[in-house]
Amino acid sequence: MSDSGVTQTDFNLPGQTAVYHGKVRDVYTIDGTYMVLVATDRISAFDVILPRAIPGKGQILNQLAAHFLEATKDIAPNWLLSTPDAQAAIGLKCEPFKVEMVIRGCLVGHAWREYKQGSRELCGAKMPDGLKEFSRFAEPIITPTTKAEAGHDEDISPAEILKQGIISAQDWAELERLTRELFARGQQMADERGLVLADTKYEFGKLDGKIYVIDEVHTADSARYFHKRSFEDYINGKSKTPPKHLSKEFVREWLMERGFSGQDGQQVPDMDDEFVQSIRNRYAELFEVLTGKKFQLADNTDTLKRIEGNVVGALAKLK
């Protein structure tokens, strides 16, 4: 592939006081008040940044996140102020809660891997006997994780969160309510587009005593989607073919098939052009199915210059 994508940014923006390079996003703090999130084309799995970027992925994630933040702001206020560039967003700087709110509507991914090893409880949430992969829970379960500065996030129960004083009981009750309402909206929006939203995660922060949604919502990096027809056919026994993923889970499966699951000493397998292109295609497909819009790749003649110019222009308007 001729376009290698944006692997990292190193901007010096007006009023910049800090920069943090996450697994996927580069986060710039402006005057201690605003955040600039640049969605790079990096891709991570099992909390490891993979060796090749996926051209166009950052734009897809940034635009999908903006789409869903706009569609859910009646449920919960969010950090987003503007998206001045296809790969950048500007918003309010909030103090993040040190927990990610993971909510699961059915038994897939990490929950399934734990279940088939015999676990019947995940982060304090009970999982009944007799379930199969893809089985729907009677009610979505919330399975929080710690937010690690580096390395792996860890499962944690609500009881332990309260015991350790990570979040107050009052804030926890509100986070749980918002998580369930956001997930219900996400499931509804997915269903209308012929998809099943299986699980997702939310991140929240606080500003002036008010809780905000921060980061992305319902994107392919933070949520797991399936085509509804193939999902229903499989769980109802009409098909033996597992439902098709429209999320990053297929990347994890590809890696695990090649002996990599993020454990110490494991080598990330080589990603050839064909696989990189297939990831981009899957992300683009999800964007188009969820939004009903055709994905149009932004001008990538000088992507870094374009992003920086658009962000600087937008920041000037905030002064």
d(CA 297, CA 151): 32
d(CA 180, CA 172): 12
pLDDT of the residue at 151: 57
pLDDT of the residue at 149: 61
pLDDT tens digit sequence for 40-56: 999 999 889 999 999 99
d(CA 210, CA 140): 26
The DSSP H or E segment spanning 80 is strand 80-85
φ/ψ of 281, rounded to 5, equals -60, -40
Residue that is written with structure tokens 């098939």 in the block: 257
Give the closest residue to 214 by CA, choosing from 2, 48, 25.
25
pLDDT of the residue at 209: 97
pLDDT of the residue at 246: 79
Residue 162 vs residue 2, higher pLDDT: 162
pLDDT tens digit sequence for 116-161: 999 999 999 999 999 999 999 999 999 999 986 655 679 999 999 9
**Tokens coding 8:** 């990292």
pLDDT of the residue at 2: 46
pLDDT classification of 286: cutoffs 50, 70, 90: confident
The packing angle between helices 249-257 and 273-291, to 10°, is 160
pLDDT of the residue at 94: 97
Say which range, 11-15, 87-91, 221-225, has the weakest mean pLDDT: 221-225
pLDDT of the residue at 1: 42
**Tokens coding 143:** 């399975």
Q: Does residue 91 contact residue 34 with C-beta atoms inside 8 Å? A: yes
Say which range, 28-32, 68-72, 135-139, 153-157, has the weakest mean pLDDT: 153-157
Q: Does residue 308 contact residue 10 with C-beta atoms inside 8 Å? A: no
pLDDT classification of 244: cutoffs 50, 70, 90: confident
At residue 51's C-alpha, the angle toward residues 47 and 57, to 5°, is 80
159 contacts: CB under 8 Å, gap ≥ 6: 124
Q: Which pTM value belongs to this model? A: 0.90
CATH superfamily, with its number, for domain 96-250 = ATP-grasp fold, B domain (3.30.470.20)
Burial 97-128 (b: 16+ CB within 10 A, else e): bebbbbbbbbbbbebbebbeeeeeebbbbebe
Give the N- to C-terminal CA distance of the chain in Å, as an integer. Answer: 40
